[in-house]
Structure 1
Amino acid sequence: MSWCKNVKGVLLDITGVLFESGASEPIKGSIEAIKRLKDSKIPVRFCTNETTKTRQKLLQKLHSIGFSMKEDDVFPPIPACCQILKSRGLRPHLVVNPDALSDFCEINQENPNCVVLGDATDNFSYQNLNKAFQLLMSLETPVLFALGGGKYYKEGSDLILDVGPFAKALEYACDVEAEIVGKPSKSFFGAVLQDLGQPAESVVMIGDDIVNDVGGAQSCGMRGVQVRTGKYRPSDENHPTVKADGYVDNLAHAIDLILQS
């Protein structure tokens, strides 16, 4: 088992790895696993496509269930997207969850010239998607951002549509390719690696999504390991295009292997 050898940095997904979506308790052993990883001096960053709440609210949830991490170590898509919007002078029409709106408070949204699509949950109505479609069609050069490329996630015992399918609908209708901000984007992973200060080949990404976590990490030169928690399904181990470098029962199992090696 070579994936766990010579690991100099670890990237962790949050939902499905640290806790199950909608749960108020951590996945068994995950708090202790992160503590052991930090005690070993291996740097760790937390990469998430969570856009149903602000980064601050996500951090508050993590702290409330027993985790301890700094805000700067948590990488969700919205702050990265805001940096892009500012640098390119773009004014977004937002189709996002209401709980995430405050993270865009410093962004000019008047006379929008692009669309930002997040995990809007109940706001993924026909009316809201049609407004986004109409704006994109009115622009000479339409720009569409998707805050992640996930197909679905797991909440409780149910699978829930993620932002990816709605982005694909707008891509098809408007003949535009969405710019992904978040996993599995190479630019997103590259920014996290730069902050981590380690080369890709020395880093392991641990997540529950075979495509966005594992495949996205591998496309950037990292090792990708899938946990059998969260949205994991047995069929993932026979995925037609992505083969994880390793499969583990949970985060604690993965950290055991890394530290033992």
Structure 2
Amino acid sequence: MASESDLTGKKFVLIDLSGTLHVGDEATPRAVEALASLKTHGFTVLFVTNTTKDSKQKLHERLIRLGFDIHVAELYTSMSATRLHVEKQGLRPMLLIEEEAKKDFEGISVIDPNCVVVGLSPKDFCYETLNIAMRLILEKDGPIIAVHAGRRYMSPSGMNMGPGCFVAGLEYATGQTAKVFGKPEISFFESALSYVGCIDPSKAVMIGDDVRDDVFGAQQAGMTGILVRTGKYLPDDETKFLGIKPDFTCENFAEAVDMLLGANKRLS
């Protein structure tokens, strides 16, 4: 059983956005002040997100409006990792992502597509469009590339299905296995840590509202996982998934920061 003393010396903090720092256009309780305090005390922070509805620029603008002191360079998205892969492989994607998010793929040719990139795009998750995607994969023998395969996400209107079930549907229909980016992939957490210069994952903490994608993914990469009871959290998430147990569970992001600061107070 982890104790708060186990947080001593951890100076790298990866933070989920939607559901953790904010839900829709409202910050979670004391989140703005908590983030400012975390930075003031010398922690290196990186915001890691599977968000595929918005471009990185629009995401940054929203966070600034909510009062957060965050720089664009502190945002590490699964969309960025996906675009890099598409570029390196010379692929031409059929993009099943929101129009705003397509800005992150500007400069990538989508003429005569030879792969399918799946993000979060509710308007595309219909039989007709998914049929087109399936046929493209079968006819071109092209890969399925998932920006992430999340199960669900929270919005102001309530819980919503994530793209994971549609990725699974394309896999089932084509017999292919998707290349998945984003949380909870270990490679995503490893690349995020490398981005901030952390070579020892035991020095890092992940704070998020998804026990599988945020907490378990981070733990698999050697980090400490803190679950918060906001956003997509459901009662007993920290106990009902076999083999998944957060190192810590807090009411919200601010409480997690208070715990981190308390554990590291003597090192300040």
Q: TM-score, normalised by structure 2?
A: 0.93
* 1:178-233 C-alpha deviation (Å, 9 max, x unpaired): 11111111221111100111211110000000110001101111111100100111
For residues 224 and 109 of structure 1, the distance between their equivalents in structure 2, rounded to whole angstroms, comes to 38
Q: What amino acid sits opposite 1:15 in the alignment?
A: S
How many residues are paired up? Answer: 258
Question: Is the counterpart of residue 86 in structure 1 residue 87 in structure 2?
Answer: yes
* 1:150-202 C-alpha deviation (Å, 9 max, x unpaired): 11111125210101110010111111111111111122111110011121111
Cα deviation for residue 41 of structure 1 reads 0.8
Gaps of 5+ in 1: none
1:214 and 1:244 in contact (8 A); partners too: yes
Q: How does 1:182-197 map to 2 (within 5 A)?
A: 182-197=182-197
Aligned residue for 2:266? none
2:11 and 2:42 in contact (8 A); partners too: no
Q: How does 1:24-43 map to 2 (within 5 A)?
A: 24-43=25-44
Aligned residue for 1:253? 255
For residues 155 and 123 of structure 2, the distance between their equivalents in structure 1, rounded to whole angstroms, comes to 14
2:208 and 2:228 in contact (8 A); partners too: yes
Cα deviation for residue 246 of structure 1 reads 0.6
For residues 120 and 41 of structure 2, the distance between their equivalents in structure 1, rounded to whole angstroms, comes to 35
1:227 and 1:247 in contact (8 A); partners too: yes
Q: What amino acid sits opposite 1:17 in the alignment?
A: T
For residues 260 and 170 of structure 2, the distance between their equivalents in structure 1, rounded to whole angstroms, comes to 42
Q: How does 1:108-257 map to 2 (within 5 A)?
A: 108-140=109-141, 142-198=142-198, 199-238=200-239, 239-257=241-259
Q: How does 1:14-33 map to 2 (within 5 A)?
A: 14-20=17-23, 22=24, 24-33=25-34
For residues 153 and 176 of structure 2, the distance between their equivalents in structure 1, rounded to whole angstroms, comes to 25
For residues 139 and 157 of structure 2, the distance between their equivalents in structure 1, rounded to whole angstroms, comes to 41
Cα deviation for residue 30 of structure 1 reads 0.5
For residues 237 and 200 of structure 1, the distance between their equivalents in structure 2, rounded to whole angstroms, comes to 22
* 1:106-160 C-alpha deviation (Å, 9 max, x unpaired): 11112211110000022212111111111111123x3111111211111125210
Of stretches 95-104 and 49-58 in structure 1, the one that deviates more from structure 2 is 95-104
Cα deviation for residue 4 of structure 1 reads 2.4
1:209 and 1:232 in contact (8 A); partners too: yes
For residues 65 and 27 of structure 2, the distance between their equivalents in structure 1, rounded to whole angstroms, comes to 10
For residues 173 and 101 of structure 1, the distance between their equivalents in structure 2, rounded to whole angstroms, comes to 25
Of stretches 203-212 and 68-77 in structure 1, the one that deviates more from structure 2 is 68-77
Q: Percent identity?
A: 36
Q: Aligned to 1:234, what secondary structure does the other structure show? A: coil
Q: Aligned to 2:9, what secondary structure does the other structure show? A: coil
1:149 and 1:212 in contact (8 A); partners too: no
Gaps of 5+ in 2: 264-268
Q: TM-score, normalised by structure 1?
A: 0.96
Q: What amino acid sits opposite 1:39 in the alignment?
A: T
Moved over 3 A (4+): none
Question: Is the counterpart of residue 7 in structure 1 residue 10 in structure 2?
Answer: yes
For residues 159 and 101 of structure 1, the distance between their equivalents in structure 2, rounded to whole angstroms, comes to 24
Cα deviation for residue 60 of structure 1 reads 0.3
Aligned residue for 2:73? 72
Q: What amino acid sits opposite 2:18 in the alignment?
A: T
Q: Aligned to 1:37, what secondary structure does the other structure show? A: helix
